[in-house]
Structure 1
Amino acid sequence: MIDVGTTAVNVARALPLDFSGTVATCSLLVAAELAERSGVEVLVCGGRLRGGDLALSNSIAQAFFADLHADVAFLGSGGINAVAGLTDYHLEEAAVRKTILRNAACSYALADSSKFDRIARHRVAGVDELTGVITEAPPPPSLYQAITRKGGVVVLP
């Protein structure tokens, strides 16, 4: 499962050209990025379309992901903080992310350094509920410790 946002689109682009499998997403941009790849089945949820990042969300999207189980989920974020955890600005997207998180064997937050110590309005999960965080820069020490305290990893380029 690949969530919404610019980093999520970059994850889709970074999939090896010989990747074969199913990708479920609530992002029309992610779906478009993968649509022409042979060997990739793209599943797109329904729901209310939000302009800008072309994200789909609401109870329809949540029900779609409630019926799917994934090996790996890549979750976008509005912010990530040692105490508040993974947060988002959009209530419906936070609810969809919670559902995705529950149904994935592994889950990684996608958070560039601008998201560090930012707290958005709606909580998605504690950092200890994530397999790890994928980012381009080392997080602040308090966030790094919160992520790794229970075995989570920080993935850097």
Structure 2
Amino acid sequence: MLVPERRDLLLARLHRDGRVIAKDLAAELGLSEDSVRRDLRELAAAGLCQRVYGGAVPASPAVADYATRAGVAVDSKARVAAAAVQLVEPGSTVILDGGTTALAVARALPPDLVATVVTHSPTVAAALVEHPGVEVYVLGGRLFKHSAVTSGAAAVEAAGAVNADLFLLGVTGVHPESGLTTGDADEAAMKRALARRAADTYVLASVEKIGAASPFTVLPLSAVAGVVTDAPPDDEVMVRLRRLDVTVVQAATDAG
């Protein structure tokens, strides 16, 4: 089998199965495990997969720059936002993450909502200007322009003063084995700091993030109260997540 054919096969298996185990595929194709791993390294360098221990999983398209991500899965993010706002109780304190899905949540909040929102995203804070009943607190720090959020030691320290009822967490990947991931180590640390300050954390997972992974772990799936997604319930990854006892808040699907 020629190298391009082999790599096409690897991508097809990633799409079909949501993962590739290098040892198993090498045995199936009669190749050395090193050959398969080399192919996976080159696919990962091209942004076509995310390498994990023993093989690879699909790479998340949500690691693109902020402007690009604003145009990715727009309808899916709106559906997730519509479901997520149902978790926000009047009078509660909510930590709202940064990113394009969190921005969709901010825009979907009822205009008459009375609540407190804490965020490290200037764009999310600006979207809440039109909500007169929402008290907004912005956590300061170094601006991470890729996601338009603050991060770093100052932002983590500021988060330590917050006590919230709910954290709506944005990630770039939700995978049964890799857990909840994102593309930057400092951003992952900030998300963990925010999760520690909330009674419940729910993940905002538009459909392109389901079954994908990024380089840095945010939290294990067992550390969150649930995943809000519009991925179809019979999707293979969703079936695997429920087998792990992950609570799913089902948003409307494409068919719904």
Whether the 8 Å CA contact 1:144–1:154 is kept in 2: the answer is: no
Q: Which moved more, 1:18-27 or 1:45-54?
A: 45-54
Using structure 1 for the length normalisation, give the TM-score.
Answer: 0.91
Change (3 A) 1:47 1:74: same
Whether the 8 Å CA contact 2:232–2:238 is kept in 1: the answer is: no
Whether the 8 Å CA contact 2:141–2:154 is kept in 1: the answer is: yes
Query: Which SS does the other structure have where 2:132 is aligned?
Result: coil
Q: Does 1:104 align with 2:187?
A: no
Change (3 A) 1:69 1:148: farther
Q: Does 1:74 align with 2:168?
A: yes
| Aligned-partner residue type, residue 39 of structure 1 | G
Q: Does 1:7 align with 2:105?
A: no
Q: Does 1:116 align with 2:210?
A: yes
Q: Which moved more, 1:24-33 or 1:51-60?
A: 51-60
Unmatched 5+ residue regions in structure 1? none
Q: Does 1:91 align with 2:172?
A: no
- Over the aligned positions, Cα root-mean-square deviation in angstroms equals 1.8
| Aligned-partner residue type, residue 141 of structure 1 | E
From 147, 150, 154, give the equivalent of 1:56: 150
Give the number of the structure whose residues are more often helix, by fraction.
2
Query: Which SS does the other structure have where 1:105 is aligned?
Result: strand
Q: Does 1:141 align with 2:141?
A: no
**Which residue number in structure 2 is paired with residue 125 of structure 1?**
219
Change (3 A) 1:32 1:147: farther
Change (3 A) 1:147 1:8: farther
**Which residue number in structure 1 is paired with residue 125 of structure 2?**
31
Unmatched 5+ residue regions in structure 2? 1-94
**1:69, CA displacement in angstroms?**
1.4
Change (3 A) 1:86 1:39: same
| Aligned-partner residue type, residue 85 of structure 1 | G
Equivalent pairs, count: 157
**1:8, CA displacement in angstroms?**
0.2
Give the number of the structure whose residues are more often strand, by fraction.
1
**1:56, CA displacement in angstroms?**
1.0
Q: Does 1:45 align with 2:135?
A: no
Using structure 2 for the length normalisation, give the TM-score.
Answer: 0.57
Larger Rg: 2
Whether the 8 Å CA contact 2:111–2:130 is kept in 1: the answer is: no
d(CA) in 2 for partners of 1:151 and 1:89? Answer: 23
Change (3 A) 1:109 1:60: same
From 15, 18, 39, give the equivalent of 2:112: 18
**Which residue number in structure 2 is paired with residue 153 of structure 1?**
248
d(CA) in 1 for partners of 2:148 and 2:242? Answer: 29
**1:102, CA displacement in angstroms?**
1.6
Q: Which moved more, 1:71-80 or 1:133-142?
A: 133-142
d(CA) in 1 for partners of 2:174 and 2:223? Answer: 12
Query: Which SS does the other structure have where 2:130 is aligned?
Result: coil
